[in-house]
Amino acid sequence: MSEKDMIVVEDLNKWFGDFHVLRGITTTIKEREVVVVIGPSGSGKSTFIRCINHLETHQAGRIAVDGVELTNDLRNIEKIRSEVGMVFQQFNLFPHLTVIQNLTLAQIWVRKRTRTEAEATARRLLERVGIPEQAEKFPGQLSGGQQQRVAIARALAMDPKIMLFDEPTSALDPEMIKEVLDVMKELARSGMTMIVVTHEMGFAREVADRVMFFDYGQIVEEGTPEHFFEAPEHDRTKLFLSQIL
Amino acid sequence: MIAPPLPEDVGAIRRWTRWARENLFSSTFNSVLTVISIAMGVVVVRGVFSYIFASGRRWYVIPPNMKLYMSDVYPVSAMGRLWLSLGIVMVLTGLSLAVWRAGGRLTPARLSSFSSGVGLSLLFVAAIISIPSGVRIGIAIAGAVFFLASRLAKLLWAGNEDAEVISLMGLLLSAVVAVLVVVWILPIEHGTRVSITIQAVLLVGSYLIGLVVRKAVPAGVSKGSLVALWFLSLPVVYLVVQRGPTFGDVPVMAMVIPFAAGFAIFGAAYMWWAGSTHEGEATKVVSALLVIASIAIWFTSLAMLPRFLLLALTVFGLAASTFGGTARGRNGLVAGWIAADLFIAYFMAVSMGATGIPILGNYIGGLNLTFLLAIAGIALAFPLGILLALGRTSSMPIFRLLSTGYIEVIRGVPMITMLFFGTLVINRFLPADVGLDIVVAVIVAIAMFAGAYLAENVRGGLQSIPKGQREAAQALGLTTVQMTVLITLPQALRAVIPAIVGQVITMFKDTSLVSIVGLAEFLRIAQKVVPNQTGSLGSLQESLLFAVAVYWVFSFGTSRASMRLEKKLGVGER
């Protein structure tokens, strides 16, 4: 972890209609830091990370990603999005394209790489996530775990500085969760800045630099995994941990 | 309860009886329904076929009137133009068949079941209809031949029924040979025979060339160019058939060449600049100014050529930020612009000059007109429908309002009204130096009408795409245009192929309505013209039955082709 601030969030507020979903979030995420966000459903943790690449718009507060202020200016948004990779719960692979085309599309159109460069990067990443032999198949022909690994490779193909994971294992069969978590662990050790929304406490214990507990749109408690799992301070955190562990 | 599958060596008879017991006579009620349905089927088939093959049918009146059916009173001296345009279509068809590898999945098993189906149907028909015994025996023999052929095919390929032994090439060649045999047997003019033979040679030849192209050129390039050529062939065929390549009174030297050259040079320079400075603010300002200018120019009294060229340049300017950014993209933009500039200049000079004289004196009619209207109408309706669908689902209120308004107005109006609008009203909206001739006006009306319906189909497809697809595209940093063109539209169109094909078939048959504005398309020829010829006076029933057969063949062919397409694209699977 270096001292450089990668993501700065100050007093972030967001409403869905009358529902106040994010209530003054303030935090700073350093380069190479791995932050795991946990909390009950509806606590605003997914909304929080979706605000970082502007899939959701916030109404008050500020977000800066790698020094670029997130405003409503389209060019700013596109610049930030090409630096921030995202992995979704439902994978969201493009079903009409083969795996390799899924990986090369944005490289060619956004990063303006040649097809040869893009395919070389794509094959290297498929190797890294352990499924080089699936390159010519369509997403529908792969298992859930394989699809999610392709989705991770697709995000990595853009050489992002930050990776966001929105419950990446929640839609998977139990026996496939491990293969995805292994890829994520390897990524964390390689020094990627990551924010992971998940219910996988084992993953949080093992690789997180910091665990953040969300409830009612606020960060109730945050700290190192040791502190968080062994000696939580707030009653709400204790209750949540007692229910899931 | 489902009975276990029968062992392999059980005979056909036992398989059939078991199938019938399980599917037709599984309960008393089902047995009653089966018997009633079969009885009704027999009555209907007997009635229809007895009518078609009633004694005294004068089928011999059809072949001598073939020229009328195909092209009405199009001058015989200009028939070469028709053959030329058909030749263009044949070459493109041959190339497309090879490049897209259409067909090619014909297996002995399918051939044999098709053949036995035809054979059994013919035998059934021969058994139940009341016709002269000579015809009956003929049909029965044909049925028996088909049926025996299917058994023979099974014997010959026993063991590898699913191998792809019959190539598309073989199928194509045998179809061509069959057509040629028929052509040289039937009593038709020698010139026509030669022309048809030339067309067949063009088809097979271009198929062979297409096979070479497929090996030598990357698939994306060859398919893209072929799609572009198909679109380009529409105006070319229209010009060849309907107008001479004469520049008439159009001031070529004074207007067309200066405008075309000026736009080519400045447009190419603009494309070079906009295609390289990808993140510049200035390119956006310029393209916004161009949008305003290209709208404003329609309120001036300038000629049509600069208006269209400016409009095209504006579209290119808007696309530049999406496709530019690399040396290859920039060069493509420049080359694309020059090609578009030249094409627009040529097309406008030839077709929309002050005296766009239909040099042939007579409009084309018959099946050729039906096809021209259907194909050109569909081809123009596609981009219109897609734009309207995108407009209606857009987040920009003005686009949404305009598209919704257009769609709802057009859908609330009968097609015949649109045809009258096309022939009587459209020209009043256009500047004085443009007079659309009636065929173009009708094509425009058909495209406007069909575009509105197509838009609703495409909108259904767009709405069926999960939200996650857009989010994933956005998260990767794709722009809205890239997301639409690369992610949402391909999926949306694939999802609505069945609906779109249904609409294409409807449009093809709806072209018969244009007879109401005085165009002699195929059905009108069959209904009014042929039965009034001296040699075929009163042959209305034969003529209409022939028309039914022709419409059916093409509609059914389209439907089968779309099923292949769905299978190939894996609709509903991926």
pLDDT at B140 over 60: yes
Check CB contact under 8 Å for A94 and B474. Answer: no
Supply B200's token pair. Answer: 């067949």
pLDDT at B509 over 50: yes
Residues of chain A scoring pLDDT < 50? none
- Give the model's pLDDT for residue B357: 42
pLDDT at B437 over 80: no
pLDDT at B516 over 70: yes
Residue A14, helix vs strand vs coil: strand
Cβ proximity of A92 and B468 under 8 Å: yes
Q: Which residues of B touch A (CB under 8 A)?
A: 278-279, 322, 325-326, 328-329, 466, 468-469, 471-479, 482, 486-487, 490-491, 494, 570, 573-574
Confidence of residue B572 (pLDDT cuts 50, 70, 90): very low
Supply A2's token pair. Answer: 């270096």
Q: Which of A109, A110, A111, A113 best probes binding to B when mutated, by most B CB atoms within 10 angstroms?
A: A109
B529-552: per-residue pLDDT in tens?
888 888 888 889 999 999 999 999
Residue A222 backbone phi and psi in degrees, to 5: -145, 155
Confidence of residue B453 (pLDDT cuts 50, 70, 90): very high
Q: What is the mean pLDDT of residues B506-526?
A: 91
Please give the residue that has the higher pLDDT: either B364 or B197.
Answer: B197
Those residues with Cβ within 8 angstroms of residue B286's Cβ, 6 or more apart along the chain or in another chain: B270, B274, B317
Summarize chain B as % helix, strand, coil (round to 5).
80, 0, 20
ipTM of the complex: 0.92
Confidence of residue B355 (pLDDT cuts 50, 70, 90): very low
Chain B partners of A90 at a C-beta cutoff of 8 Å? 466, 468
Please give the residue that has the higher pLDDT: either B158 or B472.
Answer: B472
- Give the model's pLDDT for residue A159: 93
Other Cβ atoms closer than 10 A to A245:
7
Rounded CA-CA distance A168/B375 in Å is 48
Least Cα separation, residue B309 to chain A (angstroms): 28
Confidence of residue B359 (pLDDT cuts 50, 70, 90): very low
Where do the domains of chain B lie?
Answer: 1-52, 245-355, 366-574
Tell the residue number behind the tokens 């080519």, with chain if given.
B264
DSSP bridge pairs for A86: A164
B225-283: per-residue pLDDT in tens?
888 888 888 877 877 777 654 555 556 667 788 888 999 999 999 888 888 765 567 88
**Burial (CB count within 10 angstroms: exposed 0-12, middle 13-18, buried 19+), residue B377:** buried
Supply A215's token pair. Answer: 């409830």
Q: Which of A82, A92, A161 best probes binding to B when mutated, by most B CB atoms within 10 angstroms?
A: A92
DSSP bridge pairs for A25: A12
Please give the residue that has the higher pLDDT: either A227 or B129.
Answer: A227
What percent of chain B has a predicted confidence (pLDDT) above 70? 88
What percent of chain B has a predicted confidence (pLDDT) above 90? 26
B459-508: per-residue pLDDT in tens?
999 999 999 999 999 999 898 888 999 999 999 998 888 899 999 999 99
Residue B220, helix vs strand vs coil: helix
Give chain B's mean pLDDT: 83
Rounded CA-CA distance B344/B309 in Å is 7
Chain B partners of A88 at a C-beta cutoff of 8 Å? 468, 471-472, 475
Least Cα separation, residue A227 to chain B (angstroms): 33
Closest chain B residue by Cα to residue A107: B476
Which among B81-90, B155-164, B407-416, B427-436 has the top mean pLDDT?
B407-416
Check CB contact under 8 Å for B574 and A138. Answer: yes
Supply B376's token pair. Answer: 């050109």
Confidence of residue B370 (pLDDT cuts 50, 70, 90): very high
Predicted TM-score of the model (pTM): 0.81
Other Cβ atoms closer than 10 A to B444:
18
Check CB contact under 8 Å for B477 and A88. Answer: no
Which one, of B500, B497, B377, B496, lies nearest residue B444 by Cα?
Answer: B377
Gap between the terminal Cα atoms of chain A: 29
Q: What is the mean pLDDT of residues B129-155?
A: 83
Rounded CA-CA distance B418/B412 in Å is 11
Q: What is the mean pLDDT of residues B155-175?
A: 71
Closest chain A residue by Cα to residue B279: A75
Least Cα separation, residue B331 to chain A (angstroms): 14
- Give the model's pLDDT for residue B167: 67
Q: What is the mean pLDDT of residues B113-135?
A: 83
- CATH of span B366-574: 1.10.3720.10
- Give the model's pLDDT for residue A189: 92
